[in-house]
Amino acid sequence: MIHRVSANRPSFRSVEFGPGLNVVLADRAPASTDKDTRNGLGKSTLIDIVDFCLGGRVRKGEGLAIDDLAGWEFTLEFSVDDERVSATRAVDDPGKIKVDCQGLPGTAPPNTLFGEALYRQKDWHALLGRRLFGFEGNDIPKYGPSFRSLISYFVRRGGEAYLEPFHHHSKQLSWNRQVNVAYMLGLNWKNSAQWQMLKDKEKAVRSLQQAADAAQELEQGATVGALETTRVLLENQLGAESKALEDFKVHPQYTSIQQEADRLTTELHDLTNANVLDRRTLKRYREAVDEEEKSPRVPVARLYEEVGVVFSAGAQRTLDETKAFRAQIIENRRHFLATEIGRIERRIADRDRRLEELTEERSGHLAVLKTHGAMQEMTNLQERVVRIRERLERVVASIRQQKELESRKREVRDEKADLVQVARRDHQERRAVWRRAIGLFNENSEALYEAPGELIIHVGDNGFSYDVEIDKSGSDGVDKMKIFCFDLMLLQSRREHEGIDFLIHDSIIFDGVDSRQRARALERASAVTGALGKQYICTFNSDMVPGADFSKDFDFDRHVKLHLEDGDPSGSLLGISFNR
């Protein structure tokens, strides 16, 4: 229970609270003008101070952490386990909370000086989590309830906290809502935490799916069976290429030897072609010689004598000379052919010897080329081996990813099915707990409206889901009262001497609410907290007070603990000009 809020500056309007309903009222001063406003008097600032002393986070230039409040310290006095505690926190040094040690027996603060304990923000959260919400140990498990999130349902700050019952901030994550509401309602919050861990696994499966899809795209969407076949082929190919690379020998003059072998081959071709031409010529020459030897030699004079022609002595001499000339010509031709035949035969023989020499020399070069290779060839072979190995690795990775993907999908699917069964069974076993919460919400809503509202708690495939229904839902005022009924139910659910026993609402919760419901809400809060020995604190503008709608026996003024007035800074909470 909160007892007192104060500061280290005399201008601050200290305020004391007690059990039951406590109202901080913003009045319009008699001397105020039409330009004055109740906004900026410090109603929301008071809630910020309570949250600040309970370890709320601060950002430079926002909330209380502004230059106008440099040097300010705020003190919150409240009860923890029936022990009164005083917590002081400085705006200039928000990392430490100064706590009266006497109020926290059995604690072991990090630093103690002159009877006061200095808590770091994290340690202060851990202590309050244990004392106000029954946390076990100092460490908050992953996806577990946190003090700062839970306290934000009991000390709602800012407009975003009044949008719907189960959220206290627009950026609050879904798992955080599920876990913390389940914890406060007495449900098995660990099931909600497991659901979030399953969502993490599903996220990992989606990432794995993307990787598998990318790998499959390289292999044109091949199935695991097709990939296994490709794997075997690549392994065989890699083995053969690797063996060839292992046996590969590099000759340092491989290129020059190859060039010399090519030159010898060209020369051999030239010599062979020349021999072919010479052998054709030799054949013609030998055929000409044979024809000369086989042609008949018939004397010309005899031929003429046979036909009866008689030559004179002069003519006979001329024939003899012609015969001798012809014989000389034939002899000369025979001599030329014989000479040419001999020359060609020698030339062919010389070429044959050269061919034999060149063939033997080239054979030696080819033997080297056959058993060795060039560095470039080895490099090309190495590159082929690397390409084959890289593709094989992609294929193996794709097979592994697809198999792991299917395994993960089955695992998540099975775990989810098991969790749903466990959660539903546990939900039924805790029927008495959530039935009480539903009943309390219905009672609170029925106290405000003719038809009772409904608190809906459902266990589905994705965890807990919550909803509240009140007739005429959809209007801003009714939606705000859903939050009121829900928060009051949370406070009622905390049994006596069971940690937190206070609830604080800003005047925002009454914006747009019908005056009759505002009156009933205040009376309901007063009756519930008074009967249970708990505390409800709210801020209110005087023009919103539904005086005509209160019950005859309800004394609203008795519950007003602090009057704030416009018109002069001294009438505000801080006593200085301070716009909120």
What does 482-538 look like in DSSP terms, one character per residue? HHHHHHHHHHHHS-TTSS--EEEE-GGGGTT--HHHHHHHHHHHHHHHHHHT-EEEE
Q: Give the pTM.
A: 0.71
- Helix and strand numbers (H, E) in the chain are 13, 13
For residue 502, which of 164, 127, 155 has the smallest C-alpha distance? 155
Element (H, E) at 271: helix 254-294
Which pLDDT value is given to residue 509? Answer: 95
CB-based contacts of 86, cutoff 8 Å, min separation 6: 75, 76, 77, 99, 100, 103
Which pairs with CB-CB distance under 8 Å and at least 24 residues apart come from 330-336? 330/292, 333/292, 334/289, 334/292
For residue 554, which of 530, 578, 580 has the smallest C-alpha distance? 530
* Residue-wise pLDDT tens digits, 535-570: 999 999 999 999 999 999 999 999 999 999 987 888
* Residue-wise pLDDT tens digits, 451-503: 788 999 998 888 888 999 887 655 678 999 999 999 999 999 876 556 899 99
Which pLDDT value is given to residue 372? Answer: 54
Residues with pLDDT less than 50, the chain: 31-38, 105-106, 113-114, 580
In DSSP notation, 187-221 reads: S-HHHHHHHHHHHHHHHHHHHHHHHHHHHHHHTTT
Strand partners, 466: 457
Tokens of 59: 């950002």
Which pLDDT value is given to residue 503? Answer: 97
Look at strands 96-100 and 560-565 and give their pairing.
Answer: unpaired
Which pLDDT value is given to residue 293? Answer: 65
Which pLDDT value is given to residue 257? Answer: 55
Element (H, E) at 411: helix 375-429
Which pLDDT value is given to residue 339? Answer: 87
